[in-house]
């Protein structure tokens, strides 16, 4: 039986946000993996002329490719990728869903701008290279693309209640962009979900010093009652 996993990254990010998890799983198992990057995203961020429809379409195309190759499909979405994963889960009915720091509500950009020290202080639990990515991404955010992200969130407003797939939510306790309280509220809205809180986990948790805890929870969930 072939297990296929779709990895969906966050807003202004790229597959690098989930790369340690991808490498961890691929080094241990013969999974079929798809890790697309949305138009305009990745290391070279050029999102000005892209929108939420283009991002979702890229994810859906990758899901369809994965479904053809796999007997079991699991979707893993990080941050905005968690929102896209939820939209996919509502329509495509994957076997399992994993949401890592899902950004179903407003990400705390304003807090980051007003209190950068607190945000960066929390990132002491992350690898230093994350700070460079985060700061570069922040200056490249423009109103048009942020509005597209808000539109995506709006379209998924009542989606969590409609998801049937077994769901694991993972969230770090010191996430400065998407506060963990958002996932504590989210898990109560879903039919078949469980929340795992990662102590001292920042937003970019798969790149952080506590990512081994994420790997463990994901691996356990993949094989639980498979």
Q: ∠ at Cα 223 (99, 167), nearest 5°?
A: 25
| Dist CA 124 CA 180 (whole Å) | 18
Is 175 an annotated catalytic residue? yes
For residues 23, 25, 28, 33, the Cα torsion angle rounded to the nearest 10 degrees is -90
User: Using the 8-state DSSP alphabet, how is residue 177 labeled?
Assistant: S
Encoded tokens for 102: 């899902």
Is 79 an annotated catalytic residue? yes
Residue 171 dihedral angles phi and psi, to the nearest 5°: -150, 135
- The size of the chain, in residues, is 226
Encoded tokens for 204: 């970019």
Is 41 an annotated catalytic residue? no
Query: One of 62, 175, 183, 208 is an active-site residue; which one?
Result: 175
Classify the C-alpha dihedral 81-102-172-170 as positive or negative. negative
Query: One of 62, 79, 145, 208 is an active-site residue; which one?
Result: 79
**Counting beta carbons within 10 angstroms of the beta carbon of residue 68, is it exposed (0 to 12), middle (13 to 18) or buried (19 or more)?**
exposed
Encoded tokens for 13: 């990010």
List residues with catalytic annotation: 79, 175, 203
């Amino acid at each position: 039986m072939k297990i296929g996993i779709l990895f969906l990254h966050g807003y202004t990010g790229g597959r690098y946000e989930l790369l340690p998890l991808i490498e961890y799983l691929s080094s241990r198992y013969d999974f079929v993996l798809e890790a697309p990057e949305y138009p305009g995203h990745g290391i070279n961020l050029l999102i000005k002329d892209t929108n939420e429809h283009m991002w979702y379409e890229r994810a859906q195309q990758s899901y369809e490719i994965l479904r053809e190759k796999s007997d079991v499909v699991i979707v893993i979405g990080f941050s905005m990728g968690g929102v896209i994963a939820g939209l996919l889960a509502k329509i495509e009915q994957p076997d399992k869903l994993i949401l890592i720091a899902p950004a179903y509500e407003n990400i705390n950009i304003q807090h980051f701008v007003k209190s950068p020290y607190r945000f960066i202080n929390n990132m002491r639990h992350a690898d230093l290279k994350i700070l460079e990515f985060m700061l570069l991404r922040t200056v490249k955010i423009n109103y048009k693309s942020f509005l597209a992200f808000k539109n995506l969130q709006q379209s998924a407003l009542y989606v969590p209640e409609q998801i049937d797939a077994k769901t694991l939510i993972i969230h770090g306790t010191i996430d400065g962009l998407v506060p963990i309280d958002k996932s504590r509220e989210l898990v109560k809205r879903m039919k078949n979900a469980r929340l795992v809180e990662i102590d001292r986990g920042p937003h970019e948790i798969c790149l952080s010093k506590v990512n081994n805890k994420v790997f463990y929870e994901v691996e356990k969930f993949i094989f639980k009652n498979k």
